[in-house]
Each structure stands twice: as structure tokens, then as C-alpha cells.
């Protein structure tokens, strides 16, 4: 018998107790939806059979998982291609996030790169206002950050708490110092504002931090990237920010 309740497919690693942002929901061993199971497994023959028999490429289950988002989350690029060729919505939301965001969260560069090549919009945001660029920066994924910027991602997009991608890279709790530095360097190279502050946004929403992977009580409210980096002991990043006009 399968366990009752919602299973979480993939979560951003957190070091503190904050609300979890999840990807696919439901029993991942059996979505109760043949198309989702086939997308998860990359079963091209089964997807083709289901499409030929009238299954809709955008048909979501009770948890709002879509076939394309599941294919993206599990890195099934060929399945994603097939679904898109049959009319799947490339920017369609799966619960909280898009297929591109699913691929980025799960670290599937090939699938994310393919979706960008097919004109996935890097500026669609999730329920927390996080764009694909903020997600990649939060993960310390400098290569994906650069790919998104080259695809037209807004480098100064602020999420619901006022944090921009540069802030996301500085405030993430589960990335290495090397990945953080590499991500910051890419963002600065592409023109990220080293003096951006989120003070106005956080005053408006009462100063509540809703994101996964960030501290629930953050002393850096309204601070600039330099102040955040300095308070966290990121000395090399402080030097990099100041060299690029930060203060």
C-alpha cells in the first residue's frame, strides 16, 4: 500500500526551519496520471501512445503537476521536446513554478538550456516572486545564471520581499563559498547593481522573509550587497563588490 498524503519530490536544501518550496507533489512512484508517469520516466513510446489516444499535453493532475514540468524536473529532455511539439505550454505553471524553474531547481542544465532555446520566458515568477535568475543565483549556479542573462533575464528583478538576484546569491545558506563568488562575479559582470537595497519592499510587506533557504530572522533588512557580504564574512566578495562600485 502506498503511503497516504503528499510526498515532496524535490526541495531546496534548508539549514533553518522555514516554509518549504516544493516541485512535484503527490506520490512520485505513481502520479495516478499515465502521462505524468511517462514524462517522469522519459518513456517516449508511452507518451506518443497517450497523445495518439487523445491525452492532452497540458493535462495536470489534482496537484497541478503538468507533464512538461515533470519532464523538466526529472531531466527528461527528449520527453520535453515531444510534449512541446504537441502543444505543451512552455511557460505553464505547475502549482507554483514553471517548467524552466523546475529544471533549474533540480540542476538539469541540458533541459533548462533546451527550454531557453525554445523561448521559455526567464522572467516568469513563482508564488514568491522569484524569477528563474533568482533561483539560479540562490543555488550558486553561475553557468545557469549566465545562460539566463544571455536569454534576457532581468538582472534587477525584485521578488516579493524585495531581494534581487545578487542578494539571493549572498543570502543563500546551502552553497559553497566558491560557487557564491563565481555567481556574484557573473552578476556583476552583467551589470548587477552592487548598491541595491530592498528596504522599501520589506517595509511594505512587514519585513517577513518567506523564501526557502534563507534565515527566518534576517539582520540585513534593507542592507546593500556589501553590508550583507561583510556581515557574513565574505571578504573576497566584499572586495569584488567594492571594485565594481559597491559601498
CATH of the domain at 50: 1.25.40.20
Same domain, yes or no: 82 and 38: yes
Same domain, yes or no: 139 and 222: yes
Same domain, yes or no: 143 and 117: no
Same domain, yes or no: 191 and 171: yes
- What's the average model confidence in pLDDT over 97-122? 97
pLDDT at 10 over 50: no
Q: Please report whether residue 17 resides in a domain.
A: no
Judge contact between 135 and 165, C-beta under 8 A.
no
Domain residues for the domain of 238 are 133-202+217-246
Same domain, yes or no: 50 and 114: yes
Examine the fold and report which residue of 80, 101, 121 is the final residue of a domain before the chain moves on.
121
Total domains in the chain come to 2
- What's the average model confidence in pLDDT over 140-154? 98
Task: State the average pLDDT for the chain.
Answer: 84
Same domain, yes or no: 171 and 196: yes
List pLDDT tens digits, range 26-58.
555 667 789 999 999 999 999 999 999 999 999
Examine the fold and report which residue of 121, 145, 177 is the final residue of a domain before the chain moves on.
121
pLDDT for res 64 = 86
List pLDDT tens digits, range 113-140.
999 999 999 999 988 899 999 999 999 9
* Least confident residue range of 11-25, 47-61, 82-96, 207-221: 11-25
Tell me the residue length of the chain. Answer: 247
Contacts for 180-185: CB closer than 8 Å, 24+ residues apart: 180/140, 180/234, 180/237, 181/234, 181/236, 181/237, 181/240, 182/140, 182/142, 183/136, 183/137, 183/140, 183/141, 183/142, 183/145, 184/237, 184/240, 184/241, 185/142, 185/240
Same domain, yes or no: 117 and 139: no
Amino acid at each position: 500500500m502506498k503511503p497516504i498524503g503528499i510526498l515532496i519530490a524535490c526541495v531546496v536544501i534548508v539549514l533553518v526551519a522555514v516554509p518549504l518550496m516544493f516541485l512535484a507533489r503527490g506520490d512520485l512512484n505513481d502520479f495516478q496520471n499515465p502521462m505524468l508517469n511517462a514524462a517522469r520516466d522519459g518513456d517516449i513510446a508511452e507518451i506518443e501512445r497517450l497523445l495518439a489516444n487523445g491525452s492532452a499535453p497540458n493535462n495536470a493532475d489534482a496537484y497541478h503537476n503538468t507533464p512538461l514540468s515533470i519532464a523538466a524536473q526529472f531531466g527528461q529532455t527528449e520527453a520535453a521536446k515531444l510534449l512541446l511539439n504537441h502543444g505543451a505550454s512552455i511557460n505553464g505553471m505547475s502549482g507554483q513554478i514553471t517548467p524552466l524553474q523546475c529544471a533549474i531547481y533540480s540542476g538539469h542544465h541540458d533541459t533548462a538550456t533546451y527550454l531557453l532555446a525554445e523561448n521559455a520566458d526567464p522572467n516568469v515568477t513563482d508564488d514568491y516572486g522569484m524569477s528563474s535568475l533568482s533561483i539560479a543565483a540562490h543555488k550558486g549556479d553561475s553557468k545557469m545564471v549566465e545562460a539566463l542573462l544571455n536569454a534576457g533575464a532581468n538582472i534587477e528583478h525584485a521578488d516579493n520581499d524585495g531581494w534581487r538576484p545578487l542578494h539571493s546569491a549572498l543570502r543563500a545558506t546551502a552553497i559553497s563559498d566558491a560557487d557564491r563568488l563565481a555567481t556574484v562575479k557573473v552578476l556583476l559582470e552583467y551589470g548587477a547593481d552592487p548598491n541595491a537595497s530592498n528596504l522599501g519592499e520589506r517595509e511594505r510587506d512587514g519585513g517577513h522573509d518567506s523564501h526557502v533557504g534563507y534565515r527566518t530572522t534576517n539582520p540585513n533588512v534593507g542592507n546593500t550587497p556589501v553590508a550583507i557580504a561583510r556581515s557574513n564574512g565574505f571578504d573576497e566578495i566584499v572586495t569584488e563588490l567594492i571594485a565594481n562600485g559597491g559601498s
